[in-house]
Homo-oligomer: A and B are copies of this chain.
Amino acid sequence: MASDMTLYWGAGSGPCWRAMICLEEKGLSDYNSKLISFDNKEHKSDEVLKINPRGQMPTFKHGNAIVNESFAICLYLENTFKGQGAKLLPDDPVQQALVLQRAVESQNIREKAAFGVLSYFFRTKPEDRTEAMLEEKKKTCHEELQIWEGYLAKLGDGSYIAGKNFTLADACTFPFIATLVRMGFNMSRYPHLAKYYDLVKDRPCVKASWPPHWKDTLNKDVLKDI
């Protein structure tokens, strides 16, 4: 029973999706789900600001426990519901180290794709953009993805992002990979990331939390030459 849990979230937000995946994996899918409209500025409502002074998504409450940072929500759910649902953080120190490392490190994908190329493309006025700067940002994003391509190559076919099981590292990383795909990045250049995407995209926890508007609108092609 997760009737004392509320997640405020925005559609298509990678950080929100991380939390939603963990809620599903821990068997807490009956949480109160409040989809927030950014257009209507609902993330800056009194209801949200009372528990999240930055007015950002996700915002999460479980009884009197409040956690808003996406990775902190994932850790909180794993620690609080240790014996329930999937085990998302292995006990073995070497494996745990890898899961924690990849989970935090995945923020780099977001920074270099979402805050790098995508923000430059969508949020910088065309007259302020230069082709050279766009190319530089694409190159930085490509170099980041090559690091992950290397990680997966080393782990071997059929691996999750930190080994043979689905973990917190996947909950944290997959939403950012799926965002790249949504934005049309050329997966044929990253065969290991492509296989990883295929492995995870149909997992029940991921399907259950897939961004609703992605299902019936076309992918974009901003990242097609990355």
Contacts and interface: CB of A to CB of B under 8 A. Distances in A.
Contacts of A97: 62, 65-67, 72, 76
A124 interface: no
A53 B97 CA distance: 16
A65 B94 contact: yes
Interface residues of A, number: 29
A164 B66 CA distance: 18
A63 to B, nearest CB: 7
Given A65-B93, A94-B64, A96-B80, A72 B54 contact: no
Contacts of A71: 71, 104
Decide if the interface of chain A is mainly helix, strand, loop or mixed: helix
Contacts of A80: 93, 96
Q: Give the oligomeric copy count.
A: 2
Interface string A106-125: 00100000000000000000
A66 B147 contact: no
A63 B62 CA distance: 37
A105 B56 CA distance: 12
Contacts of A181: none
Nearest to A92: B65
A72 B101 contact: yes
A167 interface: no
A13 interface: no
Closest 7 CB pairs of A and B: A65-B97, A69-B104, A72-B100, A72-B104, A65-B94, A67-B97, A67-B101
